[in-house]
């Protein structure tokens, strides 16, 4: 047994050789005897052999020590990120959660169900050059394998099923179509086993597109902005989730609520968090996403935050959120 210590955060984590971690994982830091002293700026990589433990490996990212594994039981988890209230960090959360899961060596597919297509462009997909999108899939003009853009960002194991503005007309075209609530589910079932996680970015409305996403999903993450109207419309979203559970997808669960745009300088953010915790009988993630300039800048470069600025608070927060999501499924 050996332990890892972080100089700045004073974190110690003991691990035995029986821990389930994947081979080929690395950690960063300075090794002294059997203690790994991890520094923010350390560039040297060490593998498990350096600590005389053949089965334990670590990785340090964003000042955190992370033990991660590939658990076959959680492969193919489908998570919808939904909130009918716009501007709450829904798409930002979908993009950066997917990218952070990929940092944990998970294979991720992210599906853009929002006609605005911001998630697609935020992951480096040029919407003007894509010929087949989720719209063509929904109306039956192509198969899901034809629509997926394979790893549009180099060295990031995130595939993208992009959207386009045409998707806004899909609901009208689906009028009279039988079993229209299951169109996405039936297609995703074909490729589900190729991925550890499938993240669906829902539109900011309780539409047929959102219903398709929830019918496909195993669970729903709800981002809530730390502002006065945080709970506005949340009861309607919860009611919609319950209706989908009763009538369309009995396995659907409430994955949890994540607070976004938290500003520690204001009393309002703290009051909103406390108010939601007191009044909402749902799982609430411990990780709170801060209001962060680098998070706002990243989409304009077509990059998730962990590639745009690996040392930012936004990167650290989404990596911790991804860790919670992974652990919840184990």
Give the pLDDT confidence of 233-271 residue by residue, as tens digits.
Answer: 777 888 889 999 999 999 999 998 998 988 878 888 888
Give start-end residues of each CATH 3.40.50.300 domain in the chain: 72-329
Token code pair at residue 197:
């996680």
Q: What pLDDT is stored for residue 270 in this prediction?
A: 83
Which superfamily does CATH assign the domain made up of 72-329 to?
Answer: P-loop containing nucleotide triphosphate hydrolases (3.40.50.300)
Tell me the CA distances in angstroms from 111 to 149, 283, 289, 303, one per residue in order.
10, 24, 22, 16
> Which DSSP helix (H) or strand (E) runs through 220?
strand 219-225
For 253-305, the DSSP string reads: EEEEEEEESB-TT-HHHHHHHHHHHHH--S-B-S--PBP-HHHHHGGGGT--H
Token code pair at residue 75:
């492969």
pTM, two decimals, is 0.77
Q: What pLDDT is stored for residue 329 in this prediction?
A: 58
Q: Tens-digit pLDDT profile for the chain (330 aa)?
A: 334 443 333 333 434 333 443 433 344 343 333 344 443 333 333 333 333 332 233 443 333 344 433 444 456 899 999 998 888 899 999 999 999 999 998 999 999 999 999 999 999 898 878 889 999 999 989 999 999 999 899 888 899 999 989 898 888 888 888 889 999 999 999 999 999 999 999 998 888 999 999 999 999 999 988 877 777 777 788 888 999 999 999 999 999 899 898 887 888 888 878 877 777 777 889 999 998 899 999 999 999 999 999 999 999 999 999 999 998 855
Tell me the CA distances in angstroms from 24 to 48, 70, 317, one per residue in order.
9, 12, 25
> Which DSSP helix (H) or strand (E) runs through 121?
helix 118-122
Q: Which residues are CB-contacts of 239 (< 8 A; sequence separation ≥ 6)?
A: none
């Amino acid at each position: 047994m050996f332990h890892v210590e972080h100089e700045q955060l004073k974190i110690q984590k003991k691990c035995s050789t029986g821990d389930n971690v994947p081979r080929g994982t690395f950690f960063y830091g300075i090794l002294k005897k059997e203690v790994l002293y991890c520094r923010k700026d350390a560039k040297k990589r060490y593998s498990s052999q350096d600590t005389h433990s053949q089965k334990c490996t670590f990785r340090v990212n964003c000042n955190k020590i992370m033990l991660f594994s590939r658990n076959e039981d959680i492969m193919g988890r489908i998570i919808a990120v939904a909130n009918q209230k716009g501007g709450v960090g829904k798409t930002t959360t979908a993009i950066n959660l997917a990218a952070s899961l990929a940092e944990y060596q998970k294979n991720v597919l992210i599906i853009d169900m929002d006609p605005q297509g911001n998630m697609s462009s935020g992951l480096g997909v040029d919407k003007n050059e894509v010929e087949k999108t989720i719209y063509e899939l929904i109306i039956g003009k192509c198969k899901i394998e034809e629509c997926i853009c394979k790893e549009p960002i180099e060295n990031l194991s995130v595939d993208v099923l992009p959207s386009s503005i045409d998707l806004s007309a899909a609901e009208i075209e689906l009028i009279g179509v039988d079993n229209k609530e299951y169109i996405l589910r039936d297609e995703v079932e074909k490729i589900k086993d190729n991925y550890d996680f499938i993240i669906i970015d829902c539109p900011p409305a309780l539409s047929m597109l959102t219903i398709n996403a929830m019918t496909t999903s195993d669970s729903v993450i709800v981002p809530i902005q730390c502002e006065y109207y945080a709970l506005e419309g949340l009861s309607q979203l919860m009611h919609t989730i319950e209706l989908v559970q009763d009538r369309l997808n009995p396995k659907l669960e409430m994955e949890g609520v994540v607070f976004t745009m938290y500003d520690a300088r204001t009393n309002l953010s703290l009051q909103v968090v406390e108010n939601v915790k007191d009044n909402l009988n749902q799982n609430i993630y411990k990780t709170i996403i801060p209001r962060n300039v680098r998070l706002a800048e990243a989409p304009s470069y077509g990059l998730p935050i962990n590639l745009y600025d690996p040392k930012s608070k936004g990167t650290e927060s989404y990596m911790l959120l991804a860790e919670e999501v992974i652990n919840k499924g184990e």
